[in-house]
Amino acid sequence: MPCASRNRCSDSGNSTAISCPFAITVCCVSLIPLDDILLLNSVQVNYHSLASRCLAGRLAEMSLRSIVAPLLKWFAENARDLPWRRTRDPYAIWVSEIMLQQTQVKTVIPYWERWIKKLPDITALADAKEETVFKLWEGLGYYSRVRNMQKAARLIRDLHKGRFPSGSQDILELPGVGRYTCGAVCSIAYNQPEPIVDGNVIRVISRVAGIDEPIKSKPVMDRVWSYANDLVKHAIARQKPGQRNASAFNQSMMELGAMVCTPRNPICSECPLKGRCEARKKNKIDYIPTLVKRAAVMKRRYIGFIIIWNGKVFVQRRLSGGVNAGFWEFPNWQVDANVDPADFAKGNLSLNQVHLELLIVINHSITRYRNRLEMFILRVSRKPCLGRLHGEWVPMAKIDKLPLTGAHRKATKYLQD
């Protein structure tokens, strides 16, 4: 029952413009672009007859099935054995999802295992000392995440009697929880058909659907969320009541993006959706998703001083409200490229003479900033007043017990008394 593509369907004087895929017969449904098929699920259309409505429904269902079924099969055969996949505890899953933000899986695994061993539930996290929590997180970066986690744990303890909420609205009210994390906990822990959209899912959907518009624009992201929602709802609807698994489908999307549909050099030959991938058909794999041009990179130079006196080292705690608040570090400053470290130390540490030993140069990136930290050892025979600096003298043997910011922790590994 063909009809003209990009046609206008009307009934009772009402008309709605739609992208119509009916120029293709049912037997060729796998060739219909995902963009067109999923549009049928989000646009209310009055068709000429019951027959055409039934056909539209069959086409949409068959197209969704051609994505959902092979993806679930592929995931069942290829899913990685990750420790947080062996549990349905919402707390443990929530911890993993927060840790995985901006961080690779291989890095997160030992952190997650140490965390769960030390803080196995909401109450343990809520009642823990701040320094204990920071120490467990040390090295993961983006430290506002861990502060929000403890705030959320205390809120759950006080408002939900220590039980992680199951409703999406309650979860969204937790500090540091957005739409993605909420969807992850709801679907993976509680098997609710809530969509998940992270970088991996964005890549899979944009390539399969052939979306070559700037992916981070709000209209495009709204479409991606809508597609993800349609897919997970369909995955649930097509399974038997006892086998409905939103968790498996959402994880299959993320797994495919992480292992096969990668940002560079995707393994298209192993992709279960290669026959449906519009980007592959149009030879645009390397150009989709389309990213907005990044802001120019800025280089910043820092100099830091590990001041050693009488077997102790001077450390400062970062103020609350700022970046890395609550973590400890050695005195350091952002300086211009032409600043001499020895002259700077004399002027800012109230010292008449200094002898500096370059310990290590650490290069690290934060968003668009490329930071260079030059860390020096400064040994003094008398306890210095250190000008306006406020901090503590800590025995060298105890420095490992403090939660230090990542770059400064790295410096201590090269430090010898």
User: Domain residues of the chain, as ranges?
Assistant: 8-78, 83-287, 298-412
Q: Which CATH class is domain 83-287?
A: mainly alpha
Q: What is the mean pLDDT of residues 235-254?
A: 82
Looking at residue 48, its pLDDT comes to: 39
Looking at residue 410, its pLDDT comes to: 85
Q: Which residues contact 293 (CB under 8 A, 6 or more apart)?
A: none
Q: Is 46's pLDDT higher than 50?
A: no
CA dist 94 → 69, 98, 106, 149, 245 (Å): 27, 6, 17, 9, 18
Q: What is the mean pLDDT of residues 246-256?
A: 95
Q: What is the mean pLDDT of residues 22-28?
A: 31
Distance of CA 364 to the CA centre of its chain: 19
CA dist 148 → 160, 349, 356 (Å): 17, 35, 39
* Alpha-carbon span 198 to 215, nearest angstrom: 12
Q: Which CATH class is domain 298-412?
A: alpha beta
Q: What is the pTM of this model?
A: 0.72
Q: Is 36's pLDDT higher than 80?
A: no
| R_g of the chain, CA atoms, integer Å | 27
Q: Is 27's pLDDT higher than 50?
A: no
Looking at residue 240, its pLDDT comes to: 66
* Residue 63: pLDDT band with limits 50, 70, 90: confident
Q: Is 262's pLDDT higher than 50?
A: yes
Q: What are phi and psi of 306, to 5 degrees?
A: -95, 100
Report the percent of the chain where pLDDT is more than 90: 56
Q: Which of 77, 97, 173, 213 is catalytic?
A: 97
* Residue 416: pLDDT band with limits 50, 70, 90: low
Per-residue pLDDT tens over the stretch 297-314 = 899 999 999 999 999 999
Per-residue pLDDT tens over the stretch 267-291 = 999 999 999 999 999 999 999 998 8
* Alpha-carbon span 3 to 20, nearest angstrom: 8
Q: What is the mean pLDDT of residues 200-228?
A: 92
Contact 3, 20 (CB under 8 A): yes
In the annotation, is 278 catalytic? no
Contact 29, 67 (CB under 8 A): no
Looking at residue 333, its pLDDT comes to: 93
Higher pLDDT, 236 or 339: 339
Per-residue pLDDT tens over the stretch 81-139 = 999 999 999 999 999 999 999 899 999 999 999 999 999 999 999 999 998 999 999 88
Looking at residue 241, its pLDDT comes to: 64
Torsion over CA: 153, 159, 163, 164 (sign) = negative
Q: What is the mean pLDDT of residues 339-358?
A: 87
Three-state SS at 350: coil
Q: What is the 3-state secondary structure (H, E, C) of 61-91?
A: HHHHHHHHHHHHHHHHHHCCCCHHHHCCCHH
Q: What is the mean pLDDT of residues 235-251?
A: 79
Q: What are phi and psi of 9, to 5 degrees?
A: -95, 140
Residue 362: both structure tokens together: 């650490």
Q: What are phi and psi of 405, to 5 degrees?
A: -65, 155
Q: What is the mean pLDDT of residues 234-248?
A: 77
- Give the residue carrying structure tokens 């698994």: 245
* Alpha-carbon span 99 to 88, nearest angstrom: 17
Mean pLDDT value across the chain: 83
Contact 38, 1 (CB under 8 A): no
Lowest-confidence range among 236-240, 338-342, 363-367? 236-240
Q: Is the peptide bond before 195 cis (omega within 30 degrees of 0)?
A: no
**∠277-102-84 over CA atoms, to 5°?**
85
350 conformational bin, left if phi > 0, alpha if psi -120 to 50, beta if neither: left
Higher pLDDT, 75 or 354: 75
Lowest-confidence range among 20-29, 219-228, 306-315, 374-383? 20-29
Looking at residue 322, its pLDDT comes to: 67
Would you state the torsion angle of the CA atoms of residues 163, 166, 167, 168, taken in this order, to the nearest 10 degrees? 110
* DSSP at 404: B
* Alpha-carbon span 288 to 291, nearest angstrom: 8
Q: Is 231's pLDDT higher than 60?
A: yes
Report the percent of the chain where pLDDT is more than 70: 82
